Amino acid sequence: MASALTVEQVTAQLGKVKDPEIHRPITELDMVKDVDIASNGTVRVGVWLTVAGCPMRDTITRDVTGAVSELPGVSKVLVDLDVMSDEQRKELQRKLRGDRQEREIPFAQPGSLTRVYAVASGKGGVGKSSVTVNLAAAMADSGLKVGVVDADIYGHSVPRMLGVTGRPTQVEQMIMPPTANGVQVISIGMFTAGNSPVVWRGPMLHRALQQFLADVYWGDLDVLLMDLPPGTGDIAISVAQLVPSAEILVVTTPQLAAAEVAERAGAIALQTHQHIVGVIENMSYLPCPHCGERVDVFGSGGGSTVADKLTQGLGAPVPLLGQVPLDVRLREGGDEGKPLTLTDPDAPASGELRAIAERLGTRSRGLAGRPLGLTPVAR
């Protein structure tokens, strides 16, 4: 049986193994160094790692071993890891990004099909990050390729809430984001020591966001979610400048005081000429654990108020996308890095969030921020 094995068969099987950071087959990325088949059925596979000390080395070894072991006649798989040379890494960068030297934001290009949602809120404490994380997890669970930019530089929390434990890997001028629960994530918290604060002014915030969008290799995403800081500060303006096609998703609570602030956060679209995709009312009500009736802990009507006021101010319909009930497991899932939309998809809060995710994930990209290629005709 071993003698019937061929290098071509093993190579074809290795084509099923994807680099865990780049998400493309290792054969396509020229990461297979060599293949040797012994007469006793032992298969030795040489693999080029992108960098020394690659954090994904164990994952790659496991995946290669598992894929090759599926072939009939294989008695043992040995994986030899080596490190790419500088020239190999440069060639990999050319393969992934082409020959362009300037760093450009792929989501801002006219041909981009990625739907970009900037998740905003007027004030902190409304659960904006929880909504972002659970929407991302639900979209990824439905089969979409999803990325999250933790743009809340001062109050970054997305990595913990999504269960991200890995750190980014740099290959030449590209940053490979870690993945958790099927979602690629980048956050300033991955580049700071411990829980140290970030003390930056506007220009530094703009530069950090630009790097997250241009230097990170996101691949071919279906959806990119950007968790913005609360309010209408520097980051919100930078998003409008760097990714004009980004659509705003406003998160509020039923409390009218919070709704008034959220309305201001959404109204920034008047100045930035961005489209508001809708409003999500979080912490909408508490289902009574005894009788099941709705308890309006934070009042009622805030989400509808924001949607109506933005519709009037913008002159375009801004829908209330959903009302997410209070659920202590939503908070617990964030603390444990296990989004509720994955751990209990049938929970009322999960059902509402998954319905919103499905609606946002299947929308076609609008024309906002995109050149139409029209040329005026002289008369």
CA dihedral sign, ordered 166, 161, 139, 98 = negative
Summarize pLDDT for 154-213 with one digit per residue, the tens. Answer: 888 899 999 998 888 888 778 899 999 999 999 988 887 777 777 777 788 888 899 999
- 209 neighbors 151 (Cβ within 8 angstroms): yes
Three-state DSSP at 59 gives helix
- 246 neighbors 213 (Cβ within 8 angstroms): no
For the chain, how far is it from start to end, CA to CA, in angstroms? 78
Two domains, one topology: 2-97 and 106-361 = no
**CA-based R_g, the chain, Å:** 24
Tokens of 31: 């990461």
Residues composing the chain: 379
- CATH 3.30.300.130 for domain 2-97, yes or no, is yes
pLDDT at 1 (0 to 100): 47
- CATH 3.40.50.1220 for domain 106-361, yes or no, is no
- How confident is residue 223, by pLDDT bands cut at 50, 70 and 90? very high
| H-helix segments, the chain | 7-14, 57-69, 86-97, 128-141, 158-162, 202-214, 234-242, 256-267, 269-272, 302-314, 328-336, 340-343, 348-361
| H-helix segments, 70-195 | 86-97, 128-141, 158-162
Q: Which of 235-244, 256-265, 291-300 has the highest mean pLDDT?
A: 235-244
Summarize pLDDT for 91-138 with one digit per residue, the tens. Answer: 888 888 776 655 789 898 888 899 999 998 888 888 899 999 999 999
285 burial level (CB within 10 Å; 0-12, 13-18, 19+): buried
Going by C-alpha positions, the residue among 277, 112, 97, 62 that lies closest to residue 174 is: 97
Tokens of 363: 């929308």
- 250 neighbors 343 (Cβ within 8 angstroms): no
Rounded alpha-carbon distances, angstroms, from residue 42 to 65, 98, 290, 317: 11, 38, 62, 64
- 129 neighbors 152 (Cβ within 8 angstroms): yes
| H-helix segments, 70-181 | 86-97, 128-141, 158-162
Summarize pLDDT for 8-51 with one digit per residue, the tens. Answer: 999 999 999 999 888 889 999 999 999 999 989 999 999 999 88
- 326 neighbors 104 (Cβ within 8 angstroms): no
Rounded alpha-carbon distances, angstroms, from residue 182 to 92, 133, 162, 351: 23, 11, 10, 19
DSSP label of 151: -
pTM of the model: 0.80
Sequence ranges of the domains in the chain = 2-97, 106-361
> Residue range 208-221: average pLDDT?
90
| CA atoms of 24 and 317, how far apart (whole Å) | 40
